[in-house]
Amino acid sequence: MSTAPAITYADSVTTTSSKIHAPAADRNKDAILAELRRFLPALALPHELDGGASPASPRGCRVLEVASGSGQHASYFVENLEGLVSEWQPTDMSEAALTSCEAYRSELPAHLRDICKSPKALDVCAWPKWLAAGEFDVVFSVNLVHIAPPTATDGLLTGAAAALRKGGRLMMYGPFLVGGKPTTESNAAFDAKLKGMDPRFGLRDADAIKSKAAEQGLRLLATQDMPSNNLFMVFERT
């Protein structure tokens, strides 16, 4: 039996038979984009040519997005990170989400559809065999761990450590506890609401995630305060 997270689209509406529109994705996309631009350039590494003896040409980052949801982020970021990203692989465990991701992808120009790949099924608690070790420069996840059981956090860290090359980065966005406590009254209320939906849900502690990540060889590189009392956390695989 799968221990996969039970993702909910409580803050979303379906606009067509295939596309999901998540208002939260529209609200946070530009703030997240700014952080991606801040950290992705360091990962635009050169190809190795002639054993490093010859000058190399740059390439964009290979990004694995975990729990892509509606697919709005994947399309938006590929459009706005052209030149910095060579591959963006959306994933989700929900058939509705995978269908929505493909619907948004289909609206991209052909050259961007080459970068934004067709979405693939991924259960963060049981990573698929198609995922090769060290294949990606970035693992990216937005608003996952608080609307899923704790096993999803563990699965994300373990899977990211395997999927990332050395020096690759795990980037996480969402609301978190700090020092075991909500940072604001609104986050405390949100945490209570989540636990009311499912006692396994709730805001995760940023310090606990840092410790668990370190056990997987993921070193905390940066923690950035974001709008609406969210955090953007960046880990580097050592």
Burial of residue 138, with CB atoms counted within 10 A of its CB: 0-12 exposed, 13-18 middle, 19 or more buried = buried
Beta bridge partners of 218: 237
Q: Has residue 147 been placed in a domain?
A: yes
Q: Is there a domain that residue 169 lies in?
A: yes
Residue 135 belongs to some domain of the structure: yes
Per-residue pLDDT tens digits for 187-205:
999 999 999 999 999 999 9
Tens of pLDDT, residue by residue over 50-91, are 455 445 556 789 999 999 999 999 999 999 999 899 999 999
- Structurally, the chain folds into a number of domains equal to 1
- Please write the tens of the pLDDT for every residue from 134-164: 999 999 999 999 999 999 999 999 999 999 9
CA 196 to chain centre: 25
Give mean pLDDT, residues 109-126.
96
Residue 8 lies in a domain: no
pLDDT in tens, 207-224: 999 999 999 999 999 999
Strands 176-177, 218-226: parallel, antiparallel or unpaired by DSSP?
unpaired
Query: Which residues form the domain of 181?
Result: 18-44+57-229
pLDDT at 113 over 50: yes
Structural domain includes residue 179: yes
Q: What pLDDT, on a 0 to 100 scale, did the predictor assign at position 16?
A: 60
Residue 197: inside a domain: yes
Residue 5 lies in a domain: no
Location of structure tokens 């995922």 = 131
* Lookup: tokens for 129: 């065999």
- Decide if 110 is inside a domain: yes
- Residue of 63, 56, 72 whose CA lies nearest to 11: 72
Domain of 161, CATH number, reads 3.40.50.150
Mean pLDDT (the chain, rounded): 89
Beta strands in the chain (DSSP E): 13-14, 20-21, 61-66, 85-92, 120-121, 136-142, 164-174, 176-177, 204-205, 218-226, 230-237
